Amino acid sequence: MNGSGNEGAGATAESRRALHALLEALAEVDRDHLGPGRGIVDPAEVASGIRFLLHLLGGGLDLALEADPRRPAFRPTMSAGRRFYGDNPDAIYQSTTIDPSLAYRIRANTQGSVYTSFSVEGGGGLDTRYPPSRVVSSLNDTKLGVGADGSYAIVASISPWPGPEAWLPLAPDACSIVTRHYFEGAEPVDRRLAIPIEIEPIGAIEAATDEGAAPPLARDDAALAQGIRRVENFVRGLSLDYGRNGPAIDFASSEPNRFGPPSGWSGEAGQGPVDQSNLWAPFVLGDGEALVIEGRFPRCRFGNLVVWNRHLQSLGRPGTRASLNRRQTRLEPDGSFRIVVAGEDPGAANWLDTGGERSGIVFVRYLLPEERPEGLEARVVPIDGLQPRRPA
């Protein structure tokens, strides 16, 4: 048989056109976002970029391809082998798409986390653009009515909910709900940990069907094409279009190896929970250099530092750490910390491994701070000049 086999009526299938558009988008990301125009030339940097693109594709296929707000399901956004969008080794994130014309009941458990929150995102969505542009509303565990066994229930709806469950307000442009579960253990959280969480539509679905169930899942050409376009929006939104969608990150320092002042979230717009304070510093290191960060954790529910590459993926290698939370950080006698960011073992306490990357980002988060966080001091020093690790 001659030809590609795509000729004839099948060539006009909407799903095939969507697939070809996705393949073209992947090629565009490779060419423009991961190419020489952005300084990605070294084979190791090229490999890092391609790995990032494949992680995005995997996330899009899992989270977007068959997303259906009539059949919502919270799915982990990260895994042990999939990282993007500023992952956190101390947290488990889950998300689901929603339809704001519906109401949803959520039943879940904190599962031992030190902090749990639900955020409604709006102003976008997988069918139009990604990531969404704003946080519509947010609830943390202080408002969830958590029981002694860690269980709680929520109703998400536009109208205030009169029942006993906590109310998570929606808005006409609401498109997704994100959960965040932070753990402050001696080791990074196991990504295989199951967070018990169920979500079901209530109200409109029951009224629209005889049995109270959602209509049959569409698996036709048009439905698949829509799913593929969602995958493309997901990949584009976190690569080619990242920074154009959503608000500016006002706490991000533009000066290498230097932190700006701590910043919080207003709740009017932003990416992340509305009750955290952040610091961000790009790092650039040469051979034999390390970045020494000094400061102290504020009184807060959770605090950690994590190193990312330029694609906002956590770094580190097997046996090393890409992040340090308060429990993992060895403090000085006065309660302050001294953390070393380097691509090789500096022989000092509190090492964050860049995985050999020469540049990237150090990201700091404090959840529910009880006091205004202090700034952090950072300086580049020769690795050979660092003090040896103190005995445990």
DSSP symbols for 190-217: PTT----EEEEEESHHHHHSSSSSPPPP
For residue 81, the surrounding DSSP H or E stretch is: none
Q: Is 101 exposed, middle or buried (0-12, 13-18, 19+ CB in 10 A)?
A: middle
Residue 205: per-residue pLDDT: 44
- Average pLDDT score over residue span 87-102: 95
Q: Which residues is 379 bridged to in the sheet?
A: 292
Answer yes or no: is pLDDT of 366 > 90: yes
Torsion (CA) 100, 103, 109, 112 in degrees, nearest 10:
30
Supply angle C-alpha 337, 348, 261, rounded to 5: 35
- Which of 10-19, 24-33, 315-324 has the highest average model confidence (pLDDT)? 24-33
The DSSP string of 119-152 is EEEES-BTTTBSS-SEEEEEEEGGGTT--TTSEE
Range scoring the smallest mean pLDDT among 119-133, 204-218, 330-344: 204-218
pLDDT of 207 > 80? The answer is: no
Percent of the chain with pLDDT over 70: 86
| pLDDT one-digit tens code per residue, 212-268 | 455 566 678 999 999 999 999 999 999 999 876 554 566 678 899 999 888 874 433
The per-residue DSSP string of 245-270 comes to BS---TTB--STT-----B---SSS-
pLDDT higher than 50, residue 162: yes
Tell me what the mean pLDDT of segment 348-373 comes to: 93
Q: Which fold has domain 276-385?
A: Jelly Rolls (2.60.120)
Q: Where are the domains of the chain?
A: 12-237, 276-385
Span 125-142, mean pLDDT? 90
Closest CA to 61 of 234, 197, 252: 234
SS3 state of residue 1: coil
* Higher pLDDT pick, 247 / 8: 8
Model-wide pTM > 0.95: no
The mean pLDDT value of the chain amounts to 88
- Tokens representing 233 are 């929006």
Provide Rg for the chain, Cα atoms: 23
Mean pLDDT on 287-308: 96
pLDDT of residue 270: 41
Helix, strand, or coil here: 383? helix
Tell me what pLDDT residue 271 has: 44
Contact of 354 with 285, CB cutoff 8 Å? yes
With a cut of 60, say whether residue 372 has pLDDT above it.
yes
